[in-house]
Chain A
Amino acid sequence: MIAWYTTNAVVLQATMTTLLLALSIQLPLRMGVFSFAGVGCFGIGGYTAAILYAKFDVDTWTAVALGTLLAGLLCYLLGLIIHKLSGLYLGMATVAFTLIIAVVATNGGSLTGGASGIFGALGGITNLHVFLLLALVIVGLAISEYGRFGRRIDTVREDPELASALGINVARYRKLVFLASGLIGGLAGAVTTLLRSTITPAEINFHMVVMALTVIIIGGSSSWLGALIGAIVITWLPTVLGFVADWEAIIYGFLVALAAIFLPSGVLGLAKNLIHRWRTRRGTAPDAATTPGGEPGAPEPERSLASTQGGTL
């Protein structure tokens, strides 16, 4: 186990940082906000942390915290401005935001190191730290997926008019999701940068948007578990299959296109569907004959609700 860990520590680390970035894009998507601002926030968080750590001798965790907060703040301000835009327009505005961050970083002079970026910002972060931070973020997201709060978020996504008729302040939800997405994206950027010790403007480009989107689309956009599945597939596939590394971009392109056509709810949605089907088949067969303990009979209405929810997305 320990031998396995030491050989794969780098890949594990990449899985965790990729997952953090993907989560920052997935959260707004879950609320029906098509925002890529998380990638821009990755840049803000990464640059802030690297500048503070390398040029102003701030210690690691203060730098990470400040980077995260600044990214969250700027993303929230962005949200205040653009939260009313719909669908594609909002998506493109956030892509523009992300690319402006890269242009600003290129033109930042000695502060941001211009086109070659910042080097030598190796902070004191270990894989355990990343794991704990990730667990914290995931617990927060998991809370937002269950119970009343989870259903509210689902309503805001599926039918904003219905949501506001039910007394949910849709605009507030949409604005706050920018804050949360910015914080997670900023954290991802700060942690990744101080782990790898460098950040360049070329990283904050369209390719990163595509990568984060690939993770979410392959795994499934409805839950953090989907992002985890996607992050594992994306980071481990090249290590397991040698030829994948050569043709990485082509294979991911195919996967994203196929997922968009055939699996809109990702691998997670497929798995949920299969489990649901298997359960109902097993549940109905003994249900007709003998019902031991009355267990399969009771959750019937809940199941049918789950199946309609799975069908709409």
Chain B
Amino acid sequence: MQELLNTVTLGSIYLLFALGMALAWSTIGILNFAHGAIFVFAAFSAHFISEQVALPMPVLILISILVGAVLSALTQWLAFEQILKRSTNHRSAELRVLIGGIGVAAIPIAIVDKATASAPFGFSNSTYKTEVYEFLGLRMTNTSLIVIVTGVGIAVALTLWLRASRQGLGLRAIGVDSETASLMGVNRTAMAIGTMAIAGGLAGLAGSLQVFQLQAMGVGTGDQLLIKAFAMIVLGGLGSMAGVILGAFALAGAETLIFAANLGTWVDAVSFGLIFIVLLLRPQGIFGRQEVRRT
């Protein structure tokens, strides 16, 4: 039972991170490789400010969300939009967006690395205090309660918004055929920047929650999480938000089991192996309907 609780907590953080990535990838077609760097940098910004003044938890989380959203929207506006404008075919644009993302990601990561001298950082100066509840023999902190409620709540809200709202319809239309969608009155550029801002905000939220949950964060966390999020999205099926939710909890469950079996150093192999198996056996993922394009 305790393992199940840990799985849900870990899965909720994974979920928040992967949701933003999946949203941008499945609608505006941008696999943002800087997503992990935004996650780390947003959490670091909150840490940096909390070093100066002691702030309560909601303010720190808000700072992270804002920094993440601004950074992500800027990346979209200054890098990805420019690449899309300048490339002729879809395939080369995809690769250039990926490479551009890798380049952009190096910048905030290098700044954080320099500022922290590669040491993990945390919110030790925050006014937030962790409390432990005991319930039917289960140990649970107030942090993990917040993490679970936020993660699941936002995932459900985002799924419903994408399905039911008018903007959600517009976004999904861009995902199917961006040219026709813009003829139907969807403002693609504004939508794209807005989507990336939401994605970045979610990354920032995941970042600060992860720091509250684990007490500290290393600079390399972002890259690992990026590959894991890719595994979750591929497992669930690109284009399906329910798939991302399933993918996040499945991966978290598998990793918790590995830890419980005392095989901690193998934990990263799970997500990487999962990518392989899914891509080979069912490339469209569990809930994916559309075939992966093959050459």
Q: Which 10 A-B pairs have the closest CB atoms?
A: A256-B103, A253-B106, A249-B110, A257-B103, A260-B100, A96-B272, A253-B107, A96-B275, A103-B269, A250-B110
Q: With A and B bound together, what is the CA distance between A252 and B83 in angstroms?
A: 18
A85 & B283 in contact (Cβ 8 Å cutoff): yes
Can you add 8 more A-B contacts, CB < 8 Å, to A96-B276, A106-B265, A260-B100?
A: A85-B283, A93-B279, A99-B272, A103-B266, A210-B102, A247-B110, A256-B102, A256-B106
Which residues of A lie under 8 Å from residue B223 when comparing CB positions?
Answer: 205-206
**Which residues of B does A touch, CB under 8 Å?**
31, 79, 82-83, 86-89, 91-92, 94-100, 102-107, 109-111, 113, 223, 227, 230-231, 234, 265-266, 268-269, 271-273, 275-276, 279-280, 283, 292-295
B109 & A249 in contact (Cβ 8 Å cutoff): yes
Shortest Cβ distance from B229 into chain A, in angstroms?
Answer: 11
Which residues of A lie under 8 Å from residue B86 when comparing CB positions?
Answer: 261-262, 264
* Interface of B: prevailing SS: helix
B227 & A92 in contact (Cβ 8 Å cutoff): yes
* Interface of A: prevailing SS: helix
Q: Which of A199-233 contact B (CB under 8 A)?
A: 205-206, 210, 213-214, 217
B99 & A260 in contact (Cβ 8 Å cutoff): yes
Q: Which of A102-148 contact B (CB under 8 A)?
A: 103-104, 106-107
**Which residues of A does B touch, CB under 8 Å?**
32, 34, 81-82, 84-89, 91-93, 95-97, 99-100, 103-104, 106-107, 160, 170, 205-206, 210, 213-214, 217, 247-250, 252-262, 264, 311-313
Shortest Cβ distance from A31 into chain B, in angstroms?
Answer: 11
- State which of B83, B109, B273, B293 has its C-beta within 8 Å of the C-beta of A86: B293
Which residues of B lie under 8 Å from residue A93 when comparing CB positions?
Answer: 275-276, 279
Shortest Cβ distance from B230 into chain A, in angstroms?
Answer: 5
CB contact under 8 A between A103 and B272, given known A86-B293, A88-B94, A213-B102 = yes
CB contact under 8 A between A99 and B100, given known A249-B110, A250-B107, A261-B86 = no
A260 & B103 in contact (Cβ 8 Å cutoff): yes
Q: With A and B bound together, what is the CA distance between A85 and B107 in angstroms?
A: 30
Q: Which chain A residue shows the least CB distance to B267? A: A103
Which residues of A lie under 8 Å from residue B234 when comparing CB positions?
Answer: 89, 92
Query: Would you mind naming 16 contact pairs between A and B with Cβ atoms under 8 Å apart?
Result: A34-B95, A82-B280, A85-B294, A88-B94, A91-B98, A96-B273, A96-B275, A100-B272, A206-B223, A249-B107, A249-B109, A249-B110, A256-B99, A260-B100, A261-B100, A264-B92
Which residues of A lie under 8 Å from residue B283 when comparing CB positions?
Answer: 85, 89
